[in-house]
Amino acid sequence: MFHQIDAWAIALGFAVAMFASWYLGWRLGRRLHPEPGEDPGTKFTDASMALLGLLLAFTFSMAMVRHDQRRLAVVAESNAVGDFNTCVSMLKDPKRSNLQIVIRDYTHQQLDQLRRLLPPTEEDNAVQQSRETHAKMTDLVAQAMDGSPLDLALTTTLNNLTSTYASRLAAYDEILPWSIVLLLLLSSIVPSFLIGMKQGETHKLHHSGTLSFIVLVSLVIFVTLDLNQPRRGLIRVNREPLERLSKSLDM
């Protein structure tokens, strides 16, 4: 469910949940009387804040690493398609032209898949279409083989093309588990509740500090979840390598 919702909507839900937990803690704290001396409850608040900071850093790092892996996968796939096209350009017509048409259509196909957010059914159809194109490339390469040294280069670059495609699909499917997102939600609600209870107990409201805390935590969660959604959101994987390749193939 988390992966079907935009990151801003989830982050907004986190902010509402944090504010609600703070308000409940504040209402509860107003019914309590502050005890003289050092309050041991502040240690639990500090510990929960430290745990929240650790989880925010941990999840942001995981999302950033996965985003970088997707970017590198797109670069690798673009290079693989370009290498295969270079080998194909050494063939003679009509074998060369037939393969170059398939390569050009395949590149446009992959770009279209990266640009749009496809429903699950359409995404499965797109994967099946790509595999059918791989099979068509394999048949054309088999027909182009004539026992020359170029045969090895053709098969090697074709294998690399299909392998990098599979690697890109795996990189795009690698996202944060929903259990980590739930843990992040729980770790953000508990400190908000404890802070609200402490403010209610001392009858001292800190509007700016509380609001800043909720907004900053929500923004960090938004960026983390936006990085975690490769096919939607504001932060997208750079498609420039494939776009440059597509333009060169159209010339």
Reported as a single tens digit per residue, the pLDDT across 16-57 is 988 898 888 888 877 776 655 555 456 667 777 888 888 889
User: What's the confidence (pLDDT) of residue 36?
Assistant: 56
3-state helix, strand, coil in the chain (%, to 5): 80, 0, 20
Structure confidence by residue, pLDDT tens digits, 96-141: 999 999 999 999 999 988 887 777 788 889 899 999 999 999 999 9
User: What's the confidence (pLDDT) of residue 206?
Assistant: 79
Give me the chain's average pLDDT, please: 86
Confidence of residue 3 (pLDDT cuts 50, 70, 90): low
Q: What values do phi and psi take at 205, rounded to 5?
A: -90, 135
User: What's the confidence (pLDDT) of residue 213?
Assistant: 87
| Residue 226: exposure state from Cβ atoms within 10 A (0-12, 13-18, ≥19) | buried
Q: What is the mean pLDDT of residues 223-231?
A: 87
Task: Please give the full DSSP string across 36-85, using - where no structure is assigned.
Answer: SS--THHHHHHHHHHHHHHHHHHHHHHHHHHHHHHHHHHHHHHHHHHHHH
Q: What is the mean pLDDT of residues 1-12?
A: 75
Structure confidence by residue, pLDDT tens digits, 158-176: 999 999 999 999 998 888 8
Specify the long-range contacts of residues 143-152, CB closer than 8 Å, at least 24 apart.
143/95, 144/91, 144/95, 144/99, 150/87, 150/90, 150/91
Check: CB of residue 59 under 8 Å from CB of residue 186: no
Q: What is the mean pLDDT of residues 180-204?
A: 84
Check: CB of residue 6 under 8 Å from CB of residue 178: no
The length of the chain is 251
* Prediction pTM value: 0.81
Q: What is the mean pLDDT of residues 64-92?
A: 93
Q: How many CB atoms lie within 10 A of CB 160?
A: 17
Q: What is the mean pLDDT of residues 63-91?
A: 93
The alpha carbon of residue 146 and the mean position of all alpha carbons in its chain are separated, in whole angstroms, by 44
pLDDT > 80? residue 204: no
d(CA 64, CA 60): 6
Containing H/E element for 182? helix 178-202
Alpha helices in 117-177 (DSSP H): 120-144, 150-173
Cβ-Cβ contacts under 8 Å for 214 (sequence gap 6 or more):
15, 18, 19, 22, 192
